[in-house]
Chains A and B, each alone.
Chain A
Amino acid sequence: MSSVVDVALDETPTETPLSERGPAPTRVVAAFGFWLFLLSDIIVFAALFAAYAVLSGETNGGPSPIELFDKRHVFIETGCLLASSFTCGLMMIALERRQSGLTYAWALLTAALGGLFLYLEFSEFADMVQRGAGPTRSAFLSSFFTLVGTHGAHVTVGIAWLLTMMAQIATLGFRPMIIRRMICFSLFWHALDIVWIGVFTVVYLGAHA
C-alpha cells in the first residue's frame, strides 16, 4: 500500500499538485499549438501525396516520370534544404544565447539556402513547361505540380517569415514574443524538410526505382 503511494509521489517530482500549477507558460502553449497546426498541414500534404500516388501512372500519352526527372538536380535541392534545416538549428542556438550577430548570419544563410532550393525548383518547372510537360498535359503532371508546387509555396512563405522575423529582431529585440515566433518558425522549417523527404522519395526516386 505504501509502495503505491511512493510510486505516485515519484511520478510527480514537484510539490505543487497538478490542479494548483496554473496554466502552462505561453512559450509551451504557443509551440504546442503550432505543432498541432503543422500536423494538420502535413495531413494536407498527405492528401496531395495520395493524389500523386493514384495519378502518377496516368500520363495520357505524354511524358512519364522517368523521362522528366533528373536525379542529380533533385539531390542538390535536397542538400540545400537539409543544410538550411541545420543552419536553422544553429540560428536557434544563437538566439537562445542572445547573440544577435550570429542569429542574423545563420538566418541569412538559412534564407539563402531556401532561396537556392526555390531557384532550382522553379528552373526545373520552367524547363518542364518549355518541353511541353506543363501542369495541363496530363493527370500525372497536374498532381506533380500541385504536390511539389505546394511544398515550394510553403518554402516561399517560410523565407518571407524568416526575413520578417529578422526585421522584428532588429526593431523589437529579443522579446519573449519574438522568441516564441522564432521557435514556431524553426518548427515550420524542420517540418517542411520532413515533407521534402516524402517528396524526393515518392516522386523523384520512386520514378527511377
Chain B
Amino acid sequence: MSAQVESTESDRAPGSHQSSKDRLKSYTLGLALAIILTATSFAASSSNWVWGPSIPVLLAVLAIAQMGVHLVFFLHISTAPDSTNNILSLAFGVFVVGLVIFGSMIIIANLNHNMMPMDQIMDIHRQR
C-alpha cells in the first residue's frame, strides 16, 4: 500500500520494488540467469566453441549481459518513467567508465607504438 503511494507520488529509488513476492521472483530469476552466464563464461574461456582470438569478445559479451542481469533483477533498475534519474545517472556512470578504460588503453597503446625500440635508445646514449 505505502509502496504504491510512494511510486506514484515521487521517483523510485534503486532497489525498491512493488511487492515482496515480486522481489522474490526477481531475485530467483536473477540468480538462475547469473549462474548460467557465469558457468558459460568459465566454460567458454578454455573452449573451442568459437574462433580462438574471438574468445575475449565472447567473454566481454557474457560479462556485460551478467552485469545487466544484476542491475535489473538485483538492483531493480528499470526504464520506467519514475526511475529516469536512476537510469540517467547509470548512463553517465557507464559513459565515464568507458572513457577512463578505453581512453587509457588507446593512449598507452599509442605511446607504446611511438616509443623508440630499447636498443636504439641505448645506441643514442653510447654515441654521446
Contacts and interface: CB of A to CB of B under 8 A. Distances in A.
Interface residues of A, number: 54
Given A21-B9, A46-B97, A35 B24 contact: no
Contacts of B92: 39
Contacts, number: 141
Contacts of A178: none
A137 interface: no
Contacts of A82: 31, 34-35, 38
Interface of B: 6, 8-16, 20, 23-24, 27, 30-31, 34-35, 38, 41-42, 45-46, 55-56, 59-60, 62-63, 66-67, 70-71, 74-75, 81, 85-86, 89-90, 92-93, 96-97, 100-101, 103-105, 108
Chain A residues touching B, majority SS: helix
A183 B42 contact: no
Interface of A: 11, 13-14, 16, 21, 24-25, 27-32, 35-36, 39-40, 42-43, 46-47, 49-51, 53-54, 71, 75, 78-79, 82, 85-86, 89-90, 92-93, 96-97, 183, 186-187, 190-191, 193-194, 197-198, 200-201, 205-206, 208-209
B67 A89 contact: no
A39 B74 contact: no
Given A28-B10, A42-B93, A43-B97, A194 B20 contact: no
A31 B10 contact: no
Nearest to B93: A39
